[in-house]
Amino acid sequence: MNEMRRKLIAMDLDGTAVDSEGRLAPGVKEAIVNARAEGHMVAFVTGRADTDMAALDCGYEFVDYLILNNGAKLVRGHDRTVLENEVLNRDEVERLIRFCQERDIQVYVICGRECYASKRGERLERYMNSIGCCPHYFEDISQVPTDRVEGMTILGEAAPVCSAIREQGFNLRAVISEPFCVDVMNPQVNKWNGLKELLRRIGMEREDVVAVGDYDNDLEMILQSGIGVAVGNARECVKARADYVTVRDNEAGAVADMINELVLGRTSGLCLKNAV
């Protein structure tokens, strides 16, 4: 066991731990294996749902825990046991779907291992093909099991939806997860709150967490964790508020650099302390 206090490594996936092909970037797998071998714990903390995880080039058991749907769902890795799963309010889901359909806005609805889409689109279909999933396309809201929705994503120009959620009393929260992609969840759901529930269960403290991400939906966990890290390709607003910023980007295995330097104590000079 490394002399450093035991850590929980909390890593975002898209734009952070995985490359443009959706696979764990160079060196990341090895770094995770090494960290776990030294007694540290690893959690994927992602906006992805169960349906999005199939294309990742490792199984759930590769890490200790998965926090999915931006913090709403907590899964134990080795046996896929769902420990927490917060679904969206049915009335709010139906209200938002109607809002989007009236304005021809593409909405993607996640229900466990099933997904539903309000309309076809090249970007969505390309992504669905990449993860080996076929969504159910719906015209009428009655075709969607709105009582078990775990998450929603607005694809394309989402400004009208974000404005409506803020200004029309929706009991929902919208956060940008990547360009032209906005995730919708319950107001209290975020990656840090998902991590807090995990910490409660495993008896660790916030000071024990090393969190890494690249986008707006990673900010809470980067700010609240003991050490918050932004990868080299992160948005400038995320870099500015992180404790450390990696020299390299997600394509070059920035997360491996972070684990090796900040968790395993292997000095590389590829993870720089933020001067701000």
Q: What structural domains and CATH numbers belong to the chain? A: 8-85+189-274 (3.40.50.1000), 90-185 (3.30.1240.10)
Q: What are phi and psi of 152, to 5 degrees?
A: -135, 145
212, 258 in Cβ contact below 8 A? yes
Token representation of residue 194: 């998902």
Question: Which pLDDT score is estimated for 193?
Answer: 97
Q: Which residues of 61-96 are buried (b: 16+ CB within 10 A; e: fewer)?
A: ebbbbbbbbbbbbbbbbeeeeeeeebbbeeebbbbb
264, 248 in Cβ contact below 8 A? no
Looking only at the bridges linking them, the beta strands covering 181-185 and 151-155 are: antiparallel
Question: Which pLDDT score is estimated for 1?
Answer: 38
CB neighbourhood size of 157 (10 A):
11
What are the angstrom distances between the C-alpha of 30 and each of 35, 62, 158? 9, 11, 38
The residue type of 104 is D
Question: Which pLDDT score is estimated for 179?
Answer: 76
Question: Which pLDDT score is estimated for 2?
Answer: 40
Tens of pLDDT along the chain (276 residues)? Answer: 344 689 999 999 999 999 988 899 999 999 999 999 999 999 999 999 888 887 788 989 999 999 999 999 999 999 999 999 999 999 999 999 999 999 999 999 999 889 999 988 887 887 777 777 788 999 999 999 999 999 999 988 888 899 999 999 999 999 887 778 889 999 999 999 999 999 999 999 999 999 999 999 999 999 999 999 999 999 999 999 999 999 999 999 999 999 999 999 998 889 999 875
The residue type of 121 is G
CB under 8 A, 24+ apart: contacts of 104-109 = 105/154, 105/156, 105/157, 105/158, 105/160, 105/161, 106/154, 106/155, 106/156, 107/152, 107/153, 107/154, 107/155, 108/135, 108/152, 108/153, 108/154, 108/155, 109/144, 109/149, 109/151, 109/152
Question: Which pLDDT score is estimated for 276?
Answer: 57
Distance CA 11, CA 209 (A): 10
The residue type of 122 is E
